């Protein structure tokens, strides 16, 4: 059995919304545009038709990818947060360079450092997986050392 892909509730909802939009809006639009292009394609210039076919294939691939991803996903259950153990889905308050930050440890699929969503596979994410409240974790990136003090977990 395949290992489930862990997603936050928000990410799963966003993926479901994207899938719905592709199926209900984008796919009919591209199909209608293709039908019109085929009717009007009396010349040897088939560039527009070729571009639309590639775009349609791209939509179909993304729809298939989203369906597979959603079928093989599991929403991270926040009820079971353990304050002494960081895992995917943990919300962590840290101090870095004298400033407090709220981070969330997520899978690489959801990583968004600007939102504070840190991938479990990143250097910071790997360091956080070993973290405990009150401890300082450190890691190096390109020779630079970074230190984060763990203030809260959950």
Whether residue 52 is found in the same domain as residue 86: no
Whether residue 124 is found in the same domain as residue 104: yes
CATH of residue 9's domain is 1.10.287.180
| pLDDT category of residue 53 using cuts at 50, 70 and 90 | confident
Whether residue 92 is found in the same domain as residue 149: yes
Domain boundary among 15, 50, 75: 75
Smallest CA-to-CA distance from 8 within 62, 80, 74 is with 74
User: Taking each helix axis from N to C terminus, what angle separates 47-71 and 9-21, rounded to the nearest 10 degrees?
Assistant: 150
Segment 99-110, tens digit of pLDDT:
999 999 998 889
Q: What is the dihedral of CA 54, 55, 56, 61, to 10 degrees?
A: 90
Whether residue 65 is found in the same domain as residue 112: no
Average pLDDT over residues 30-50: 71
Segment 58-96, tens digit of pLDDT:
989 999 999 999 999 988 876 666 777 788 888 999 999
Domain boundary among 34, 60, 75: 75
CATH of residue 127's domain is 3.10.50.30
Res. 18: pLDDT tops 90: yes
pLDDT number for residue 80: 60
Whether residue 71 is found in the same domain as residue 82: no
Domain boundary among 75, 104, 129: 75
| Host domain of residue 11 | 5-75
Tell me if 124 sits within 8 A of 118, measured CB to CB.
Answer: yes
């Amino acid at each position: 059995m395949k290992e489930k892909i862990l997603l936050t509730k928000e990410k799963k909802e966003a993926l479901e919304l994207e899938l719905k939009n592709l199926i209900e809006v984008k796919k009919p639009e591209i199909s209608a545009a293709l039908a019109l292009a085929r009717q009007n394609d009396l010349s040897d210039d088939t560039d527009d038709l070729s571009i639309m076919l590639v775009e349609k294939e791209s939509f179909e691939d993304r729809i298939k990818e989203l369906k597979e991803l959603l079928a093989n996903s599991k929403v991270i259950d926040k009820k079971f947060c353990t304050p002494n153990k960081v895992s995917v889905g943990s919300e962590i308050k840290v101090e870095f360079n004298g400033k407090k930050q709220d981070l969330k440890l997520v899978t690489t699929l959801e990583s968004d450092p600007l939102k504070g969503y840190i991938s479990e596979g990143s250097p910071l994410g790997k360091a956080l997986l070993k973290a405990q409240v009150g401890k300082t974790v450190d890691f190096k990136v390109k020779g630079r050392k970074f230190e984060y003090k763990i203030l809260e977990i959950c």
